Protein backbone atom coordinates (compact mmCIF):
# COMPACT_ATOMS: atom_id res chain seq x y z
CA UNK A 1 0.00 0.00 0.00
CA UNK A 2 1.32 3.41 -0.88
CA UNK A 3 0.21 6.90 -0.06
CA UNK A 4 -1.82 9.15 -2.34
CA UNK A 5 -5.26 7.85 -1.48
CA UNK A 6 -7.80 8.01 -4.25
CA UNK A 7 -10.83 10.14 -3.53
CA UNK A 8 -13.31 8.01 -1.64
CA UNK A 9 -16.35 8.54 0.49
CA UNK A 10 -15.14 9.07 4.03
CA UNK A 11 -17.48 8.87 6.99
CA UNK A 12 -17.15 10.16 10.53
CA UNK A 13 -15.23 7.50 12.44
CA UNK A 14 -13.03 6.44 9.51
CA UNK A 15 -9.32 6.33 10.30
CA UNK A 16 -6.52 7.38 7.96
CA UNK A 17 -2.75 7.64 8.25
CA UNK A 18 -1.13 10.91 7.22
CA UNK A 19 1.85 10.59 4.88
CA UNK A 20 5.06 10.91 6.95
CA UNK A 21 6.75 12.74 4.06
CA UNK A 22 4.38 15.73 3.80
CA UNK A 23 6.70 17.99 5.79
CA UNK A 24 4.41 18.60 8.75
CA UNK A 25 4.83 17.70 12.41
CA UNK A 26 1.83 15.37 12.19
CA UNK A 27 3.20 13.36 9.26
CA UNK A 28 2.86 9.65 10.09
CA UNK A 29 0.09 10.22 12.63
CA UNK A 30 -3.25 8.49 12.47
CA UNK A 31 -6.33 10.70 12.24
CA UNK A 32 -10.01 10.08 12.89
CA UNK A 33 -12.42 11.66 10.42
CA UNK A 34 -14.89 14.02 12.09
CA UNK A 35 -16.18 15.85 9.02
CA UNK A 36 -15.69 14.63 5.43
CA UNK A 37 -14.97 17.43 2.96
CA UNK A 38 -14.82 17.62 -0.82
CA UNK A 39 -11.00 17.67 -0.90
CA UNK A 40 -10.31 15.51 2.18
CA UNK A 41 -11.49 15.72 5.77
CA UNK A 42 -11.41 17.50 9.11
CA UNK A 43 -10.47 15.25 12.00
CA UNK A 44 -8.39 14.78 15.12
CA UNK A 45 -4.94 13.29 15.51
CA UNK A 46 -4.25 9.96 17.18
CA UNK A 47 -0.74 9.09 18.31
CA UNK A 48 0.65 6.10 16.42
CA UNK A 49 2.78 5.32 19.47
CA UNK A 50 0.18 5.20 22.23
CA UNK A 51 -3.03 5.08 20.16
CA UNK A 52 -4.85 7.83 22.02
CA UNK A 53 -6.20 11.22 20.93
CA UNK A 54 -3.50 13.88 20.95
CA UNK A 55 -4.38 16.79 23.21
CA UNK A 56 -3.35 20.34 23.81
CA UNK A 57 -6.18 22.44 25.16
CA UNK A 58 -8.56 19.80 23.79
CA UNK A 59 -8.17 17.51 20.79
CA UNK A 60 -5.61 18.39 18.12
CA UNK A 61 -7.67 18.91 14.95
CA UNK A 62 -6.29 18.93 11.41
CA UNK A 63 -7.52 19.40 7.86
CA UNK A 64 -6.02 16.82 5.51
CA UNK A 65 -6.23 16.43 1.73
CA UNK A 66 -6.88 13.04 0.10
CA UNK A 67 -3.46 12.99 -1.52
CA UNK A 68 -1.75 13.38 1.87
CA UNK A 69 -3.19 10.29 3.53
CA UNK A 70 -4.13 6.63 3.20
CA UNK A 71 -7.31 4.93 4.41
CA UNK A 72 -6.71 2.54 7.31
CA UNK A 73 -10.15 1.42 8.49
CA UNK A 74 -13.08 2.24 10.66
CA UNK A 75 -13.44 2.82 14.41
CA UNK A 76 -16.39 1.26 16.18
CA UNK A 77 -16.23 3.71 19.09
CA UNK A 78 -15.27 7.32 18.41
CA UNK A 79 -14.05 9.42 21.33
CA UNK A 80 -16.31 12.36 22.05
CA UNK A 81 -15.14 15.81 23.16
CA UNK A 82 -15.73 16.34 26.87
CA UNK A 83 -15.33 19.08 29.45
CA UNK A 84 -11.99 19.15 31.20
CA UNK A 85 -9.94 17.42 28.52
CA UNK A 86 -6.36 17.14 29.68
CA UNK A 87 -3.67 19.41 28.27
CA UNK A 88 -1.31 16.69 27.14
CA UNK A 89 0.12 16.03 23.71
CA UNK A 90 1.40 12.83 22.14
pTM: 0.73
**46 forms bridges with which residues in the sheet?**
30, 53
Cβ atoms within 10 Å of 29's Cβ, excluding its own: 23
Query: What's the confidence (pLDDT) of residue 17?
Result: 92
Rounded percentage of the chain residues whose pLDDT exceeds 70: 64
Query: What's the confidence (pLDDT) of residue 52?
Result: 59
Domains of the chain, start order = 14-70 (2.30.30)
Per-residue pLDDT of the chain in tens (90 residues, 90 and over written 9): 445 566 678 999 999 999 989 888 888 889 999 999 988 999 988 866 655 566 655 678 889 998 899 999 998 776 665 544 443 344
Amino acid sequence: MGFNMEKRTLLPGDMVQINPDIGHTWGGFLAVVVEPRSDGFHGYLVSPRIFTACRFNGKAYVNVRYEDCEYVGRLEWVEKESEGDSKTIC
